[in-house]
Copies of this chain bind each other. A is one copy, B any other.
Amino acid sequence: MQDAQQQRIRLPELRNRITSAEHAASWIEDGMTIGMSGFTRAGDAKVVPLAIAERARAEQLKITLMTGASLGSDIDKTLTEAGAMSRRMPFQADPTLRAAINRGEVMYVDQHLSETVEQLRTRQINAIDIAIIEAVAITETGAIIPTTSVGNSASFAILADQVIVEINLTQSMELEGLHDIFIPKHRPQREPIPLMSAHDRIGTTAIMIPPEKIVAIVITQKEDSASTILPPDAETAQIAAHLVDFFKEEVRDGRLTNHLMPMQAGIGTIANAVMSGFLDSPFEHLTMYSEVLQDSTFDLFDAGKLDFASGSSITLSAEKSKAVLSDIGRYKDRLVLRPQEVSNHPEVIRRLGIIAINTALEVDIYGNVNSTHVLGTHMMNGIGGSGDFARNAYLSVFATKSTAKNGNISSIVPMVTHVDHSEHDVDIIVTEVGLADLRGLAPRERAQKIIHHCVPAPYRQMLLDYLSEAETRGGQTPHVLEKTFSWHTRYRETGSMLEETAVLKAVA
C-alpha cells in the first residue's frame, strides 16, 4: 500500500490529502454543481458519489450532476433513489434515473456531447463547483492521469475550484500514456485543432491543474461496470451484412478504398454488432475515430482488421474487459483516448471524413430519426454524440431493427414522434430487411426507397397506403397530419401498431 501510494501519488505533498470517501463527500454542499468523470460506464468515480448519496439520505443535499456520458456502478440509480439528483446533464442510461426523469422529478438536459464544456467555458450554464475524477495516478507535478475514459474530466478539473481524485488501484498503471488531453483556447485566441488523422497526438498524457486544487484523494478498488450490450443475433448480423455489401459496392464504384474511411460506431447492442460484421469483410487497415470503444473494436484489432482506434472511453463486457484491460500494453500503440470535445468535434469529424454508424429507435418514411424518445415523450438515454457525428460525417448511417416489442412496434413509421436527426443528416437507413441509400434524393423518393428496402410486411403495405393518401394532399414532404401518429396512439391503446385487419392477416 505504501508502494502503491508512492507509485500512484507521485507528488509527495499530495499524499496527506488521502482521506475516506465519507470525508471527501463532506466537501459537497446542497445546491452545488458537481462534475464527475465517467463515460458510458467507464472511468467513473465510484465511491465518493455513493458517499454523497449516503449523506443525502440523512440531510437536504441536492446536486446538479454533469458527467462525460452515462455512469456505471449504479451511481445514477443510487443518487436518484437518495433524492440527491436535481439536475443531470449531458447523458444518462440508467433505468431508475430514466424513470425519475420521465416523472419530471429530475431535470435532464440532454446535450450534444461536444458542447457541454463549450457552454461551461463561456459560463452559459452553471459553473462546476467541485470535480470528482477517477485516476490511475497523480504525476510528479500534480497532473491527473485518467483511467478508462476521458470524457469531460479534463475541463471539469480545470474549471472547478476544487477537485477530488479517486485513485483506482484496479486500473492498470499501463493506462498511463494512453490519453491525449487537448484543451482549446478561449476565443478569440482559439486556433484550429491540429488533428489530421485518427492517430495524431496533440496534447498531454495527463490533466494539468494546480495541485493545490486537489482537496481530497480517495483510494478505491472497484472495477468499472461491465457493458450491458447483448451479443449479435440473427437480425443484427443481417444488418451488418447489408452494410458490408453496401461498402463493397462503394469500393467497386471507386468512391472508397478498401480501407474505407475512419469509422464511428454509436453505443448499444446494434452498433457493436454492426462493427463485428466487419470481421468477415474484405476491408483492411481500418481505423476508428469514435467515442466509445466497445468489444468489437478489440475483436477487430485481434483479427488484424483494425489499425488504430481513437475514442473517449473503453466500455467492455466482463469477459472482454478481463482480456483487454489486464493486457492493455498490447494495444497501447494502436489506441488513444481523448476529451469528448475532441473525439466529437465537428471540425475534426468533417475534416477526417467519418463514416458514422448510429442507432435509431424509430425512423420515418422521409428518413428523419428518433434516437431518444419512446412514443415521442419518454426519454430512453439521450442524443449523446450521435448528432455531432451524423451532422458532420462523410456518410451518416442509421441502423435499427425493423420492428420492436415482438413486432408490435414498427421502427419505420409515417412520422417520427421526436426528431433527433433530420433527414438532412441521414444518408443510409439499414434494417435486417435491407438498406436504403438516400443520397441525393428528394423526400418523396426517399420514402419509396425506405419503404421498399427496409420495411417487412404487413407494415410495408400500411406505409405505402399512408404515403399514397399523403401524396394526394401534396407538398415536398406529404403527410396526413391527423393520421401521422395514429400508429403510436393505436399502440398505446391496443398494444400493437398493427391495424386489426393486418393482425388478422398476419395470424391467418
B109-A476 in contact (CB<8A): no
In the complex, what residues of B have CB within 8 A of residue A87's CB?
A: 442
Q: Chain A interface mostly helix, strand, loop or mixed?
A: loop
Q: A379: CB under 8 A from chain B? A: yes
A387–B196 alpha-carbon span in the complex (Å): 25
A481-B440 in contact (CB<8A): no
> A100-108, A239-247, A320-328: which one contacts chain B?
A100-108
Of the residues B124, B346, B440, contact of A440 by C-beta under 8 Å: B124
In the complex, what residues of B have CB within 8 A of residue A442's CB?
A: 87, 107-109
B485-A489 in contact (CB<8A): no
Minimum CB distance partner of A103 in chain B: B474
A86 to chain B, nearest CB (A): 11
B110-A476 in contact (CB<8A): yes
The contact size tier of chain A is 35 or more
Interface positions of A from 234 to 254, Cβ below 8 Å from B: 254
A379-B475 in contact (CB<8A): yes
In the complex, what residues of B have CB within 8 A of residue A440's CB?
A: 89, 109, 119, 124-126
In the complex, what residues of B have CB within 8 A of residue A473's CB?
A: 377
Q: Could you mark each residue 87-121 of chain A with 1 if its beta carbon is under 8 Å from any beta carbon of chain B, else 0?
A: 10100000000000111100111111001001100
A418-B492 in contact (CB<8A): no
A484-B482 in contact (CB<8A): no
Minimum CB distance partner of A114 in chain B: B350
Interface positions of A from 418 to 440, Cβ below 8 Å from B: 418-420, 422, 424, 427, 439-440
In the complex, what residues of B have CB within 8 A of residue A352's CB?
A: 187-188, 190
Minimum CB distance partner of A388 in chain B: B391
Q: A123: CB under 8 A from chain B? A: yes
Q: Could you mark each residue 355-385 of chain A with 1 if its beta carbon is under 8 Å from any beta carbon of chain B, else 0?
A: 0000000000000100001011111000100
Q: Could you mark each residue 124-144 of chain A with 1 if its beta carbon is under 8 Å from any beta carbon of chain B, else 0?
A: 111000000000000000000
* Chain A contacts to B: CB under 8 angstroms: 87, 89, 101-104, 107-112, 115, 118-119, 122-126, 187-188, 190-194, 196-197, 254-255, 261, 345-347, 350-353, 368, 373, 375-379, 383, 387, 391-392, 394-395, 417-420, 422, 424, 427, 439-442, 444-445, 470-471, 473-479, 481-482, 484-485, 488-489, 492
Q: Which 5 A-B pairs have the closest CB atoms?
A: A377-B475, A192-B192, A419-B419, A379-B476, A347-B347
Q: Can you offer 16 A-B residue contacts whose CB atoms are under 8 A? A: A103-B474, A104-B478, A109-B440, A110-B424, A111-B424, A112-B391, A123-B254, A190-B353, A191-B351, A368-B419, A373-B475, A373-B477, A376-B484, A377-B475, A379-B476, A482-B489
